[in-house]
Homo-oligomer: A and B are copies of this chain.
Amino acid sequence: MTALLRRDPHVITAGVGLLADAVESQAARLTRVEWAPPMAGTEADLARVLADPRRAGANAQAVERVFAARAMLVDLMPAGRALGLRPGEFLHAGPPITWDRASGPLRGALMGAAVLEGLAETPEAAADAGARGELALDPCHHHRAVGPMAGVISPSMWVFVVEDEATGRKAFCSLNEGLGTVLRYGAYSPAVIGRLRWMSSVLGPLLAAAVRAHGPVDITAILAQMVQMGDEAHNRNRAGTLMLLRDLLPAAVESGFAAAQVADAARFVGGNDHFFLNLAMPACKLALDAARDIPGSTMVVAMARNGTDFGIQVSGTGEEWFTAPALVPEGLYLAGFGPADANPDIGDSAITETAGLGGFAMAGAPAIVRLVGGTAGDALASTRRMYEITLAEHPMFSLPALDFRGTPAGIDTVLVVRTRILPQINTGMAGKVAGTGQVGAGLVTPPPEVFPAALRALAGAAQPPQARPPGSR
């Protein structure tokens, strides 16, 4: 003790700015440690979950299963056949919701899909049917599927089928329509419906023929390449789309389809840098589904929004959704739109962040932060922050700008609650009025309260620490 007082003190402060400032004003040696208390009211749940003897092993297993998944594009087919959807049944993004609570863009997409399916003459008639409860709604996530933005999938829409050949597990996603006035952003004009009909009659069957002739396309390998090429696979999928075209076009040319149809399809896919998003998403879904239902695991296996609620699911708590009102993204708006036009956060596309891509991989895609008003430094900082709340670094998604370090992957409910650092999501913004379409793009996080809610459920299911066998210390 005397020796300690005789030396010059080196003060280490954690979280307490006032004390640190006082020490600093006395010119003492000071090291500030960044620290914040955990989210309010979570101390008891944290203690219980941290003491669960299964946790470390369960999380290690969850991570291992995510990293072992290999998504191969094996086929395309109508959602009716792929998912057993019947006329009048519609899948949507995010946690469960009913028409009366549905946001404008979700309603708009359902109205358009009902017209596409021939269930209503007009979008307005479809809205009436929706209000009368005549449209059966269910989350994509409950059917091994995902959908961007409104995420509406109806029986006649074609879907990608991705498969992990080692386990036979599958995941599904609709085909991407392009940007602007499109169904997934809530638009339902005749042009939107006409495009969807062409996608079902030409694009889907043509790509299916190409995939069958070419053989399975390794989507996970393309994702790994994309991260080397400036894509983060959520809002930038340019290299991925180009690689898909490269892989499938030769087979498409030889598929027997008319040259004009092949050329139209090539122009449509090549003209839409987002086309690959709808393959990145089911690849992530496939990987994360493999990590579901591991007792004791605190890893997030889904983050999804329906335009009203943001929901997460956690490996150790089965099918339960932890939800709260979705936030409105902050970012840049298309000409003619502003913050008053933006719907709250919507879509299953945050499955990319859940798997270590999207906002978590922004260090590999600085053009994305620039798009929403930031700098390359912001992109690096964003990815670095996500290492604080993730369980691992993805062995296949390596970031050139961080000297090929793997992306932060496997969001840990415990780490989010302890650090108060929220997952960073980058996303498109839909107009809140049904029929509008896209109004901008920006950054958003989950509402914080979903994590303490999930932690509470994990605590309820936690095993107590094992009693030490007698005689042990």
Query: Smallest distance from the beta carbon of A127 to chain B beta carbons, Å?
Result: 38
CB pair A263–B251 under 8 Å, yes or no, is yes
Q: Which residues of B contact A22 (CB under 8 A)?
A: none
Once bound together, how far apart are the Cα atoms of A259 and B246, in whole Å? 16
Q: Which residues of B contact A250 (CB under 8 A)?
A: 263-264, 266-267, 270
0/1 string, A115-143, CB within 8 A of B gives 1:
00000000000000000000000000000
Q: Which residues of B contact A243 (CB under 8 A)?
A: 242
Report how many copies the assembly holds: 2
A400's contact among B251, B263, B367, B404, by CB below 8 Å, is which?
A: B367
User: What are 20 residue pairs bridging A and B, where the CB atoms are less than 8 Å apart in the complex?
Assistant: A229-B229, A229-B238, A229-B239, A242-B245, A242-B246, A246-B266, A246-B270, A247-B270, A250-B263, A250-B264, A251-B263, A254-B263, A366-B401, A366-B403, A366-B404, A367-B400, A376-B400, A376-B403, A377-B403, A401-B401
Query: Smallest distance from the beta carbon of A216 to chain B beta carbons, Å?
Result: 17
How many interface residues does A have (CB within 8 Å)? 34
CB pair A230–B400 under 8 Å, yes or no, is yes
Once bound together, how far apart are the Cα atoms of A253 and B242, in whole Å? 17
CB pair B260–A254 under 8 Å, yes or no, is yes
0/1 string, A220-232, CB within 8 A of B gives 1:
0000000011100
Q: Which residues of B contact A228 (CB under 8 A)?
A: 230, 367
Once bound together, how far apart are the Cα atoms of A267 and B247, in whole Å? 8
* A interface SS class: helix
> Which of chain A's residues 243-284 have a Cβ closer than 8 Å to chain B?
243, 245-247, 249-251, 253-254, 259-260, 262-264, 266-267, 270
Once bound together, how far apart are the Cα atoms of A249 and B259, in whole Å? 11
Once bound together, how far apart are the Cα atoms of A263 and B246, in whole Å? 11
Q: Which residue of B lies closest to A369 (CB)?
A: B400
Q: Which residues of B contact A253 (CB under 8 A)?
A: 253, 259, 262-263, 266
0/1 string, A98-130, CB within 8 A of B gives 1:
000000000000000000000000000000000
Q: Which residues of B contact A246 (CB under 8 A)?
A: 242, 245, 266, 270
Q: Does A81 contact B (CB under 8 A)?
A: no
Query: Smallest distance from the beta carbon of A397 to chain B beta carbons, Å?
Result: 14
Once bound together, how far apart are the Cα atoms of A331 and B229, in whole Å? 23
Q: Which residues of B contact A242 (CB under 8 A)?
A: 239, 242-243, 245-246
Q: Does A375 contact B (CB under 8 A)?
A: yes
Q: Which residues of B contact A32 (CB under 8 A)?
A: none
Q: Which residues of B contact A259 (CB under 8 A)?
A: 253-254, 259
> Which of chain A's residues 266-305 have a Cβ closer than 8 Å to chain B?
266-267, 270
Query: Smallest distance from the beta carbon of A71 to chain B beta carbons, Å?
Result: 20
Once bound together, how far apart are the Cα atoms of A417 and B366, in whole Å? 36
Q: Does A29 contact B (CB under 8 A)?
A: no
Once bound together, how far apart are the Cα atoms of A242 and B266, in whole Å? 13
CB pair A404–B370 under 8 Å, yes or no, is yes
Q: Which residues of B contact A401 (CB under 8 A)?
A: 366, 376, 400-401
Once bound together, how far apart are the Cα atoms of A401 and B262, in whole Å? 38
Once bound together, how far apart are the Cα atoms of A366 and B404, in whole Å? 9
Q: Which residues of B contact A375 (CB under 8 A)?
A: 403
Once bound together, how far apart are the Cα atoms of A24 and B26, in whole Å? 30
7 further contact pairs, Cβ within 8 A, besides A250-B266, A254-B260:
A245-B246, A245-B249, A246-B266, A247-B270, A249-B266, A254-B263, A366-B403
Once bound together, how far apart are the Cα atoms of A275 and B309, in whole Å? 48
Query: Smallest distance from the beta carbon of A446 to chain B beta carbons, Å?
Result: 27
Q: Which residues of B contact A247 (CB under 8 A)?
A: 270
Once bound together, how far apart are the Cα atoms of A263 and B262, in whole Å? 12
Once bound together, how far apart are the Cα atoms of A112 and B238, in whole Å? 39
